[in-house]
DNA sequence: CGCAATCTGTAATTTAATTACAAGATATCC
DNA sequence: GGATATCTTGTAATTAAATTACAGATTGCG
């Protein structure tokens, strides 16, 4: 846990003097990291050993170590404490908060994603006869995105956001086919059905979903992200971004696995778009 | 600039001993921040003052200050140096790199996005009679996502990824309608046409696209992100994530503007999903 | 009210970092 | 090619910072 959060959370366990220290640090954290223990003690109007004890209480080795932790908490991109959007936030505030909480979510996702499973998923995908991406609601756009990416690999890939089409597609799947089911909660009934049907028909089912969810139970392979979602907003945000990045990772793993020769294909696809675009040079002139 | 990048960039300006220090730090930066100057000097096989001089050359006040900067560079979310995916990268490496470069892109986007324009876009959206989201290719999934978000607001919202439908929709637009055109490059001809048509029909056109692009010229309001895209991969990655976050921001601004009463609606929409899902409690038992 | 436990500050000690200076290496110019 | 100038590097001394040990003060509880 972030040192700053830690300070806020354990404010009740502090003694009177320690709280003085906490207040000063929270008020100007940026200044703190460039202060000596003497300067900070003076600011908080306490003695130097008190500051030292304060640092130790926060499970740091001492004042210099504490400053290190604090510096990391304050580093760019790292969300400070309480980055939830508040009613009274102006555009500046909520823009910063959303960017920061999204970045924080990605960082969490990075730490939690199981590399071995990612690797196996790439394995499976590279050997697939056909790849299907299924998602509903917010996850549908992730599925679309995945299709857009894998489509470039010259592999048969489909994507449906319609349960009837998904069902028909799942029933028609066969051994060697890979079905990727995307759902943040993993509790969407229809999608669980799809996964079950696909597996009954010998397809490999990869779930981009919460570990230990009903959907996860139906999958051959589960890619869990476990991003804490700010449910206050009633809209999936961070989770879906994390899913997209995961898709990016799978796609990247795919291209790397296929080797350099294969990457020529990507260039071809990219070049094919040229006709539909304004030329960069033409426009600049 | 990040201290780590700085070290890498100025590696040529270092003397022999300083380079030894640089190598040791780059090899185990995490260890460095918990070492004393003596320990680091020993690891690099140089004297303590050399380490100190090294720190000063990097525009830090001294060794402790340098460690602070290093700690911040290493803090979560901050991309390290050279985060491009390489041919020989294993799953561990490319997973980390993609997460990190995405986070870096978001950080750049956060710094570059113009808050005033965001605010005006929110203004326009809250007053819209109808909102349309148009995107092609990779941006189509962003448009879908936007539809999914704004749909919850009980506002007429459409989304087309088909140029014919987009065209028809644009022609039918009228004053008070808002058209959001999404394109990373802003050079997709068809989408420029759509923007032009919509404006001719008095719709307000918001462009989520590159500043100074042909598409931007056709828009009433341009939300530029200017995320540096790693074009080596021939696939849009970071840019699209940034676009999504921007949509999140617009949606958030929208709900905040509409006030707390309005937010009840969101809860309703969310609750309506319950029937289609496995209950959390049921499953846990 | 008094004892015990906890908190807090002073002063001494230890540790770490920096400075000053001298020796060595390298480059440059005649 | 050698001598001087400049830059680099290390040793030792100095200074600054942080930590420890201890004693006084405060608070809580019987």
Is the pLDDT score of B245 beyond 80? yes
Residues of B (1-30) placing their beta carbon closer than 7 angstroms to any atom of strand D are 15-18
> Chain B residue with minimal CA distance to A249?
B95
Residue B65 Cβ < 7 Å to strand D: no
> B242 CB contacts (<8 Å, ≥6 apart)?
B105, B106, B109, B225, B227
Q: What's the confidence (pLDDT) of residue A284? A: 39
Report the C-alpha gap between A96 and A102 in whole angstroms.
10
CATH no., domain B15-74: 1.10.10.10
Query: What is the topology classification, in CATH, of domain A3-74?
Result: Arc Repressor Mutant, subunit A (1.10.10)
Please give chain A's pLDDT, 285 residues, in tens: 677 778 877 777 788 888 888 888 888 888 888 888 888 888 888 888 898 998 888 888 888 898 888 888 776 544 433 456 777 788 888 888 888 888 878 888 888 899 999 999 999 999 999 999 999 988 899 999 999 889 888 889 999 988 999 999 999 999 999 999 999 888 888 999 999 999 999 999 999 998 889 999 999 999 988 776 655 455 677 888 999 999 999 998 998 888 666 666 656 666 665 666 666 544 433
pLDDT of residue A14: 82
Q: B92-103: per-residue pLDDT in tens?
A: 888 988 888 888
B42 touches strand D (CB under 7 A): no
Confidence (pLDDT) at B125:
94
Q: Residue for token digits 């260039």?
A: A267
Mean pLDDT (chain B) is: 83
pLDDT for res A207: 95
The partner residues of B241 in beta bridges, in order of sequence, read: none
What pLDDT, on the 0 to 100 scale, is given for residue B182?
A: 94
**Domain locations along chain A:** 3-74, 114-274
Average pLDDT over residues B107-128: 90
* Strand residue runs (E) in B118-176: 130-135, 157-160
Whole-angstrom Cα distance, residue B36 to residue B17? Answer: 18
Q: Whole-number Å distance, CA B180 to C1' D5?
A: 68
pLDDT of residue B211: 86
Closest Cβ–Cβ partner in A85, A110, A277 for B99 = A110
HSE-CB at A248 with a 13 A cutoff on CA atoms is 29
For B190-208, b/e burial (b = at least 16 CB within 10 A) is bbbbbbbbbbeeebbbbbb
Nucleotide with the nearest C1' to A56 CA: D19
- B119 pLDDT tier (thresholds 50, 70, 90): very high
DSSP strand E in chain A: where? 130-135, 157-160, 177-183, 204-209, 221-223
**Candidates A72, A77, A145; nearest CB to B141:** A145
pLDDT of B58 strictly over 70? yes
- Residue B98 CB burial class (10 angstroms; 0-12, 13-18, ≥19): buried
**Which band of pLDDT confidence, cut at 50, 70 and 90, is reported for residue B23?**
confident
Angle between helices B63-74 and A63-74 (to 10 degrees): 40
Reported as type and span, the H/E element at residue B177 is: strand B177-183
Question: Is A234's CB within 8 Å of B152's CB?
Answer: yes
Determine whether the interchain pair A91/B33 forms a contact, defined as Cβ–Cβ distance below 8 Å: no
Burial class (CB in 10 A: 0-12, 13-18, 19+), B285: exposed
Instruction: Tell me the CA–C1' distance in angstroms for B157 and D22.
Output: 73
Fold of B111-272: Rossmann fold (3.40.50)
Q: Is the CB of A15 under 7 A from strand D?
A: no
Q: What is the pLDDT of residue A78?
A: 45
Of B5, B241, B247, the C-alpha closest to B105 is B241
Interval B251-283: pLDDT, tens = 989 988 886 666 666 566 666 656 666 665 444
Q: How many CB pairs under 8 A join A and B?
A: 225
Task: State whether A276 and B91 contact (CB < 8 Å).
Answer: no
| The predicted structure's pLDDT at residue A261 | 61
Q: What local confidence, expressed as pLDDT, does residue B29 receive?
A: 82
Residue-level pLDDT at A11:
77
> In the predicted model, what is the mean pLDDT of residues B70-77?
71
* Minimal C-alpha gap between B164 and chain A (Å): 15
B206-228 per-position pLDDT tens digit? 999 988 899 999 999 999 887 76
Answer yes or no: is pLDDT of B193 > 90.
Answer: yes
A94 to B148: CB separation less than 8 angstroms, yes or no: no
A148 closest CB neighbour out of B33, B138, B278: B138
Residue B196: per-residue pLDDT:
95
A101 touches B248 (CB < 8 A): no
List chain A residues with CB under 8 Å of B162: none
Of A71, A119, A235, the CB nearest to B251: A235
Residues from chain A that touch B148, judged by Cβ atoms under 8 A, are 137-138, 140-141
d(CA A171, CA A198): 6
Beta strands B204-209; B177-183: pairing state: parallel
B256: chain A residues, CB-CB within 8 Å? 85, 87, 89, 94
pLDDT at B284: 38
Give the SS3 label for residue B185. Answer: coil
Asked if B31 CB < 7 A from strand D, the reply is no
Q: Residue B89 phi/psi, 5° resolution?
A: -65, 135
Tell me the CA–C1' distance in angstroms for A38 and D24. 22
Determine, for residues B106 and A102 on separate chains, whether the beta-carbon distance falls below 8 Å.
yes
Q: Which fold has domain A114-274?
A: Rossmann fold (3.40.50)
Tell me the percentage of chain B whose pLDDT exceeds 90.
Answer: 35
Instruction: Supply the pLDDT for residue B222.
Output: 94
* Chain B contact set for A255 (CB, 8 A): 233
Which residues of chain A are within 8 Å of residue B37 when distances are taken between CB atoms? none
Q: In this predicted structure, which of A28-37, B77-86, B130-139 has the lowest mean pLDDT?
A: B77-86
Look at residue B107 in the predicted model and tell me its pLDDT. Answer: 80
State the Cα–Cα distance between residues A80 and A274, nearest whole angstrom: 43
What residues of A are in contact with residue B240 (Cβ under 8 Å)? 145, 244
The H-assigned helical ranges of B63-90 are 63-74
């Amino acid at each position: 846990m972030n040192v700053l959060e830690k300070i806020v959370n354990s404010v009740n366990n502090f003694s009177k003097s320690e709280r003085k220290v906490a207040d000063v640090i929270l008020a100007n954290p940026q200044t703190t990291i460039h202060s000596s223990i003497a300067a900070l003690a003076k600011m908080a109007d306490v003695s130097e050993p008190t500051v030292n004890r304060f640092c130790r209480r926060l499970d740091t080795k001492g004042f210099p170590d504490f400053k290190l932790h604090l510096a990391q908490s304050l580093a760019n991109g790292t969300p400070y404490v309480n980055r939830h959007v508040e009613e009274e936030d102006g555009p500046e505030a909520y823009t910063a908060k959303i960017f920061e909480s999204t970045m924080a979510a990605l960082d969490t996702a990075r730490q939690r994603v199981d590399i071995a499973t990612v690797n196996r998923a790439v394995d499976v995908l590279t050997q697939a006869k056909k790849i299907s991406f299924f998602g509903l609601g917010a996850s549908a756009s992730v599925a679309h995105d995945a299709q857009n990416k894998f489509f470039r690999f010259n592999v048969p890939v489909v994507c449906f956001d319609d349960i009837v089409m998904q069902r028909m597609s799942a029933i028609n799947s066969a051994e060697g086919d890979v079905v990727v089911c995307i759902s943040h909660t993993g509790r969407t009934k229809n999608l669980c059905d799809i996964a079950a049907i696909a597996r009954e028909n010998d397809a490999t089912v990869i779930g981009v979903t919460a570990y230990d969810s009903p959907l996860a139970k139906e999958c051959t392979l589960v890619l869990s992200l476990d991003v804490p979602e700010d449910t206050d907003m009633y809209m999936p945000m961070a989770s879906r971004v994390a899913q997209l990045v995961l898709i990016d990772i799978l796609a990247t793993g795919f291209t790397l696995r296929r080797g350099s020769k294969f990457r020529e294909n990507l260039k071809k696809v990219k070049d094919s778009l040229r006709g539909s675009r304004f030329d960069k040079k033409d426009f600049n002139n």
